[in-house]
Structure 1
């Protein structure tokens, strides 16, 4: 399928805030590109997403036939890769355990699965797992890793990578379909070289289904929700990873509070897409917002709506583009095979 690209110049974009000099910010330009359907047509949602310089990787998720009236809590063990050069999908060796809401990261040609949620469909509950694994891209094999620390198993965390270390902030310990959701404020770091876990200062408040990004030495945590799908938040926090003992710093708030959003990085911008918890009539509970944060100026730009609104996905940033595979189109579920990318121009 030939990618479809739409380039938009944004004279109408809203600048939320101003520069330190008081001068208005000129909104950037961007383009959306439609890409070949995920897994050659297999819908996916609540999966883990990560990337190398050559491939986008998708791990686990929920049943592709899920819908809002029949919640699918059966976890999946699927593992797929999209070649950025060839524009094609490949099915890889399944992950060792079936998970949803996977915390995924790519470091030094290896794919890390660091906890997630599991469910077998018997009691309508997803539960956290401390289990961790690594996939060797060259050898095409999975290996078990040291589990997450006792009491820190979770899925739906903000994920950041700096050097050889993967950072996880917040997350979900338990999700009961139509019931309780246990949101966490824990922050952990996994050193992929040493194979060790470290606990860092907690985020200021619990968050799950939350966005994460690292720019420079700072780990940013954006949006998310707190004990429930409708309890969405618009906070923006950062932790200086060179001096984590100084704790978290609050920044300009995202214009639209959202959980289950996708987050990616292009240069000094953090871009956020979609999400869940929209109360507006006709929205199916899904946000279509695209909002971009400038870390240099501490300002948000509110952009025109997503072409394909969805929630329950995760983005991956590669070479100046943000890739957004799958997601859901109704509150709670509605998996689709939509796959597109977002690109900012200076």
Structure 2
């Protein structure tokens, strides 16, 4: 299938306020590009996403459900990769354990799974696990890692990578469909070379289904939810990794509070997409918002809406493009195989 491209040339904001590109009244292009469906047509949601310079990797998630209005629970052990060069998907050796809401990261030719949630559908509950694994891309082999420290197992955390270290902020300890959702505020770092964990200052408040990335020396954590799908938040926080003892700093708030959003980085800008918890009855509980934050200006800018609104996905940023695979189209569920990219250009 040949990718299609949607080109939009619209102002970032309605006023004459400076654009993220530092030009007043600028008319930048917003480019969305449709890519081959995830897994050649296999819907996926609540999965882990990570990337190298050559591939996008998808891990775990929930099983597709025939009725999109009924949340699916069964965790998956699927592992697949999209070649940025060939534009094709391939199945890889399954994860040693079925996961959903995976904390995934790729460093130095390896893909890491650091905890997540598990559930077999018997009691409509996902529970956290500390189990962790690493996949060697060259040898195509999974290996066990020591489990996450006691009390730190969780899924759906904000994830950042700096050098050999993977940072996790917040996360979800337990998710009961239609019931309790236990959100955490803990922040930890895993050194992939030493195999050791470090605890950092906790978030100012609990967050799960939250966006995260490291830009320069700062760990950014944006949006998310706090103990439930409708308890969405619009906070923007950063932690200076050179002086973590100073704690988290608050910045300009995201215009639309959202959880389950996709999150990417291009240059000095953070981009957020979609999410869950929309109170508008016509939305099926899903946001279509695309909003970009300028780190240098500490300002948010609304962008044109997503062509394919969804939640429960995770994005990966590679060479200025933000890749957004899969996701759900109704509150709590509705997996799809949609796959597209977003780019900003001056």
Tell me the TM-score normalized by structure 1.
0.96
**Residues 164-194 of structure 1: CA distance to partner in whole angstroms, max 9, x if unpaired?**
1000000000000000000000001000010
**Residue 206 of structure 2: aligned partner:** 206
Give the whole-Å Cα distance in 2 for the aligned partners of 1:16 and 1:82: 40
**Residue 13 of structure 1: aligned partner:** 13
SS of residue paired to 1:282? helix
Give the whole-Å Cα distance in 2 for the aligned partners of 1:187 and 1:17: 35
**Cα distance 1:171–1:145, how it changes in 2: closer, same or farther (>3 A)?**
same
Give the whole-Å Cα distance in 1 for the aligned partners of 2:68 and 2:339: 21
Give the whole-Å Cα distance in 1 for the aligned partners of 2:296 and 2:156: 27
Give the whole-Å Cα distance in 2 for the aligned partners of 1:167 and 1:113: 12
How far off is 1:25 after superposition?
A: 7.5
SS of residue paired to 1:311? coil
SS of residue paired to 2:283? coil
Q: Which runs of 5+ in 1 are unaligned?
A: none
**Residue 224 of structure 1: aligned partner:** 224
| Equivalent pair of 2:12/2:301 in contact (CA under 8 Å) | no
Give the whole-Å Cα distance in 2 for the aligned partners of 1:76 and 1:323: 21
How far off is 1:23 after superposition?
A: 9.1
SS of residue paired to 2:281? coil
**Residue 293 of structure 2: aligned partner:** 293
How far off is 1:27 after superposition?
A: 6.6
**Residue 143 of structure 1: aligned partner:** 143
| Equivalent pair of 1:263/1:315 in contact (CA under 8 Å) | yes
Give the whole-Å Cα distance in 1 for the aligned partners of 2:163 and 2:67: 39
Give the whole-Å Cα distance in 2 for the aligned partners of 1:222 and 1:11: 24
**Residue 31 of structure 1: aligned partner:** 31
- Structure 1 stretches of at least 4 aligned residues deviating more than 4 Å after TM superposition: 14-19, 22-28
In the alignment, structure 1 residue 333 sits paired with structure 2 residue 333: yes
SS of residue paired to 1:150? coil
How far off is 1:68 after superposition?
A: 4.5
In the alignment, structure 1 residue 59 sits paired with structure 2 residue 59: yes
How far off is 1:64 after superposition?
A: 1.4
How far off is 1:308 after superposition?
A: 0.1
**Cα distance 1:230–1:75, how it changes in 2: closer, same or farther (>3 A)?**
same
**Cα distance 1:14–1:237, how it changes in 2: closer, same or farther (>3 A)?**
farther
Q: CA RMSD in A?
A: 1.7
In the alignment, structure 1 residue 190 sits paired with structure 2 residue 190: yes
| Equivalent pair of 1:149/1:197 in contact (CA under 8 Å) | yes
SS of residue paired to 1:39? helix
| Equivalent pair of 1:68/1:331 in contact (CA under 8 Å) | no
Q: Which runs of 5+ in 2 are unaligned?
A: none
**Residue 256 of structure 1: aligned partner:** 256
How far off is 1:158 after superposition?
A: 0.4
Q: How many residues align?
A: 344
SS of residue paired to 2:229? coil
How far off is 1:14 after superposition?
A: 4.6
SS of residue paired to 2:39? helix
**Residue 345 of structure 2: aligned partner:** 345
Give the whole-Å Cα distance in 2 for the aligned partners of 1:317 and 1:262: 11
Give the whole-Å Cα distance in 1 for the aligned partners of 2:283 and 2:37: 23
